[in-house]
Amino acid sequence: MERRSLLGLAGGVAVATLAGPSVARSGDPQLASTDPTETIRLWPNGAPGGEGVTVTAIVSERSTDPAFHDRYAQYTTDPVMTVFRPDNPNGSAMLLVPGGGYRWVVVDKEGFDVARVFAASGTTCFVLRNRLPSDGWAAGPDAPLQDVQRAMRLIRARASVYGVRQDRIAILGASAGGHLAGLGSARTDSVYMAVDDADLVGFRPDLSVLMYPVATMTDPYVHAGSRSFLLGPAPTSQQITAYSLEQMNWREAKPAFLVHAMDDEAVPVENSLQLLATLKAAGVKAEAHLFQEGGHGFGIRLAQGKPGQVWPDLVRAWAARMDFAL
């Protein structure tokens, strides 16, 4: 892709203000037929705590195969959600939180690719491009969580605009995005000051799907890169405990679904196993599927031909048992 196209995706080369959400349109004609053009800015007056931020947002393409994109966003300063509107809405919504080790956010593999699958079955999907904790934000490790909480509130506050139910809003996070989605599911404290009426509604999801999540910040099963980019090179024991999902209070959290491959060498399966034990002890309805093979970061495309390719159907079947169409 040309550099101007990547910059267009990063910031939008043209912005149209419509009634309701802000909409950005990509300047890349190649993407116009495949990528949605509707995006929602999370913070109308700028993201909080950005006084010391000097980074410049980029979106880079890693794929050398014209058949698919594999983009990642880095140094995001104006977080957005990209909206995937289904042809036949089923009344449910899903916030997708892609991974990237808290170093960047993968756009396609665990974002757009997954959104297309669930939008095809009627779920209105919102792919988050969140800020990163090491870019100088005043909230530090809570900056990405601010974006998740704000995104959930915007979806819920505008539910009627998107034809979804306020009590049918799921979250799906993968890898480090699974950790971030887990924080959004477990934490009960708002980590930013209200900015408008959207912040009057709840921010916790009604259902969580965590794919090969970076759950623990504790050795020996921690993904060291995610911990370093989230908490810095020398986190305190208090920080490690506070950001380890398996050590958090999950009581009254909504149902959770875990997906992991046993041969994951990047984020050991013990991340999900420990979290599953915590969910069970907290009385949270939970289901876990552990696949013999699949490695890490398989998303949709890399799961094809492997046991894990069925995971979207497993998620749908599980959610359907709780009257939650996905």
Confidence (pTM): 0.90
* C-beta of residue 262 within 8 angstroms of C-beta of residue 292: yes
160-163-166 Cα angle (round to 5)? 60
Banded model confidence at residue 154, pLDDT cuts 50, 70, 90? very high
- In 227-291 the beta strands, taken as DSSP E runs, fall at 256-261, 286-291
Q: Which superfamily does 34-320 belong to?
A: Alpha/Beta hydrolase fold, catalytic domain (3.40.50.1820)
pLDDT in tens, 230-263: 999 999 999 999 999 999 999 999 999 999 999 9
* C-beta of residue 129 within 8 angstroms of C-beta of residue 79: yes
Banded model confidence at residue 31, pLDDT cuts 50, 70, 90? very low
pLDDT in tens, 180-207: 999 999 999 999 999 999 999 999 999 9
Domain boundaries, the chain: 34-320
Query: Using DSSP, how many helices (H) and how many strands (E) does the chain show?
Result: 10, 13
Is the pLDDT assigned to residue 135 strictly greater than 70? yes
The Cα–Cα gap between 93 and 70 comes to 24
Q: Which residues have CB under 8 Å from 83's CB, separation 6+?
A: 21, 36, 38, 39, 40, 124, 125, 126, 162
pLDDT in tens, 36-54: 999 999 999 999 999 999 9
Q: What is the pLDDT of residue 24?
A: 33
Q: Which residues have CB under 8 Å from 33's CB, separation 6+?
A: none
Q: What is the mean pLDDT of residues 152-164?
A: 97
The Cα–Cα gap between 291 and 263 comes to 8
